[in-house]
Structure 1
Amino acid sequence: MSIAGVDSSKHFLGLKGMSATEISSILDRAAYWEQYPVKVTNQLQGRFVANLFFENSTRTRFSFELAQKRLGAEVLNFSSAESSVQKGESIYDTVRTLESMGIDAGVIRLKPIGILEELAAKIKVPLINAGDGNNEHPTQALLDLYTMRKHFGEIKGLTVAIVGDILHSRVARSNLWALQAMGAKVKFCAPANMQASELSGHADYVSFQEALQADVVMMLRVQLERHEQGMIKSAEEYRKEYGLTVERAAQMAPHAIIMHPAPVNRNVELDDELVEHEKSKIFTQIGHGVPIRMAVIERTLA
């Protein structure tokens, strides 16, 4: 047990290996919180939760912070850009320091791969993964699944095409594990130099034309800095080859939906007119982030 009296097995690091029953229970609890009539509860009154963002993401941090405050928790926000980590303090020392001060849980986002697992082995207060290198982004995938279930009624039997930079995408990985656990079929579509070979045994890589036949077409955000590394020729070239244009969207099935983890590079991975198109669930997904994260935080601190 930790100094805060929390079982260290409560870490929420990823969805790989998580059962359909457990995923469903989180989605069900999110549905409860989404319709909850009172905006702020005292569910976690007296609990202290730290948002430890060693990689910037205003959108994800705000979503977690709203979830924490709606549950009545006391929130501490940490940004590495403003901290002594920039001066040489290790990530471990920073997290260990906050643990020593008495936080009850930490929501953590990291760029380096493999660090989160090492931290979880040493830190006793529960850690919630808010983005871990290119490994997992579990709450993003859960809000994606929640959006699909709410729209289609159930996830089992759906075909979901994930299009873009699979190689560097933690969103693609978390969605792959969760969707397959829930009985959906996943297909990948990516340029040859953005395919993750270790995932090829888990989902087929298909042409964009085939991807457009899916029930859900999920476009991944293009990291435009990859252009500097030569992975993409230009934003215009990427749009031409792998962007969801208005013309391509017209080939989707009438019932199919468009998803994106956001923020969107408009007119790169998605034409501007499609961001708020009737098929698009992008802002709906964002809205579902708060109840999903309420369910995850509550589960972690229960």
Structure 2
Amino acid sequence: MDVFLGIDTSCYTTSLCLVDGAYRIVADERRLLTVKPGKRGLSQSEMVYQHVRNLPDLTEKLVPSLAGNTIRAVAVTNKPRRREDSYMPAFLSGIGYGRSIAALLGVPLYTVSHQENHLLAVLRGTGYTDIPFRALHISGGTTDFLSVCPDAEGLDITRIGGTSDISAGQFIDRVGVALGLPFPAGKSVDMESRDFLDTAKGTAVFYKDGEVSFSGPESDIQRRIVAGETEKGPLCAETLKIVWRGIRKLLERTEGDKTSLLVAAGGVMENTYLRSALAAYAQREGFSFLPAEKGYSADNASGAAFWAALRST
């Protein structure tokens, strides 16, 4: 059987993925980069170091899935966004690995940006679309509201809104780490919040010209934690309610948009509450909401693998 290899070396996950010609997952191997307790991130040099160590291990785990299969193409993420000024050293690990594998096998090598990879991971479940759509890319480093048009290179993306300061993922991670939760804190915040979402409120979110701001609410919660307000559940629930208010403001800006599909990707979109809130909002407003398959909002290489398959068939 023909299979297609995707590679993604993002800020906090090393990922390899194989899909078949029908875009089904054949193998998916990932490893989170290690962040010391109490820390909120890694330097780029440390990311590159860990990716270089992880790639051989993940490759060895992938090998059994190649029995009876043949890799026909490779796709790798090469930068954060499809822009000339977009660059991040972490992706060099994957690019070098992808070039080597493609050269050894004598197969095509394709590149996509990390942002395209996230959105393609969602579209893989539908077999792609050539219809323009709106998208939310909400992760540890990004909160972007996007207008997307598929093209021959992948996805032509225009940013139409987002955050003017910290991302939703940074907001969640900073609160989580301050409460003693491990970094990245998304999963822990999700779990801690569940019994308190019905009563959580939270502060207002500043919004202007298509941009929301999470730095004010984050500073407010941090001050309260320092002052001794450290019960995890209520503060995690409040943080998520504030993030949802910000997302709502972005969506309300384009409620008259005739684009009927909203795609949602990025690690923050693994959150149970935010996914359900978006689904309910889409139903009320009459547009289609397409999240990633559960487990594929967070960093993974399935979008790149999907792109390799599309380019080869």
TM-score bin (small chain)? 0.3 to 0.5
Instruction: Looking at secondary structure, tell me which structure has more strand per residue.
Output: 2
TM-score (norm 1): 0.42
TM-score (norm 2): 0.41
If asked which structure has higher relative contact order (CA below 8 Å, sep 6+), I would say 2
